[in-house]
Structure 1
Amino acid sequence: MLCFAVIGFGSGGLVRRLGLHRSAVALLVLVAAGLVVRSLLEDTPLFLAATVFTLAGAAVGNVILPPLAWAMVACFGAQSAAAYAQFGWYPEILTDDGAGAGWLGVLVSPSSVPLLWSVLLGLGGGSSLLTQGLGYLVAGLGPFGVGALHDATGSWTAPLVALIASSAVIAAAGDVVSRPRMLEDTLR
């Protein structure tokens, strides 16, 4: 917490001196170097010092990246959750056939034109350290959530409705991500 407070407070000055791109590279190098050094040490004081370097890099990133990055996390995470749920459960849905354009088509008539539904679901996809890291954590909820909903309800309806609803998250976050502005503009 101290690293985030002390180092994060000075991040604005670093960005003004180095620029956003050089600052981002510096923080990534700092985090990577700190992690490598930490893995090689057995001495507690040196391990803690390397931890400070690692957290310093994370603190800078935590300050300079959030405005756009969180929208990117939401968009990437929701899109990936739907994609991984598709990869994991689409064959089962088709096999069960007790179950369109995209998920709606699968909900209404899964086996009528599976190639079309597969293409449309793929087109709904599309896609950085923060975005992918947290995005994949969110994405991991997709297949698990779809399976849990299916097990709880005994039907594909609730999981498919949840995946259709995830489109609203993708649309809202995608709107923020696609606005005509640069990340640097959000730091002023």
Structure 2
Amino acid sequence: MRIGLLRHFKVNCPHKKIMTSQEFREWSERYERSKVIKKPVEMYGIEWDICYVSDMPRAITTAKEVYSGNLQIDKLLREVDNAPFMRSDRIKLPFEIWHVCGRLAWFFKSKSQPETVEGTRRRINKFLDRIDWSKENILIVCHGFMIYNFQKELRRRGFKGEKLKVVKNGVLYQYIGEKKKKS
């Protein structure tokens, strides 16, 4: 059995180099609505039996480019929200600091983040527990940080595949596991 994880295409949403927490939040909201920059995706000639996709437009647009069948849209596949790690109207920080510190705040269970590490893991496992395991090749199109966490759960379930540190836009990552037996 094969699971393909594909991060959506790059989003066309430039940002300021230095910003306040409010400006970072406003950029995040613009990012959610922005268009993607389409590019060819190497799918290695695999015939995907089913495609699950996040309900966010950037993921749906990407899925429609690489899969011709019916899409199984699921909000459990949404990206983990990256909220500002602190509120500051006066302090301006580089965009990268807001981004990285938000993820670190998530990892260290800061109350600044809307979802906890445990919440993200529960969401991924809820999704994995309800997908159609009778399919041989399952494609999942979602988001970078979600895929980073997703691949860890797949490995916990016995799948083999690349251990990701950075998830690239429009790149397919494959995980191979034993076919589940019907009970």
TM-score (norm 2): 0.25
Structure of higher CA gyration radius: 1
TM-score (norm 1): 0.24
Structure ranking higher on relative contact order (CA contacts 8 Å, 6+ apart): 2
**Greater share of helix residues, 1 or 2?**
1
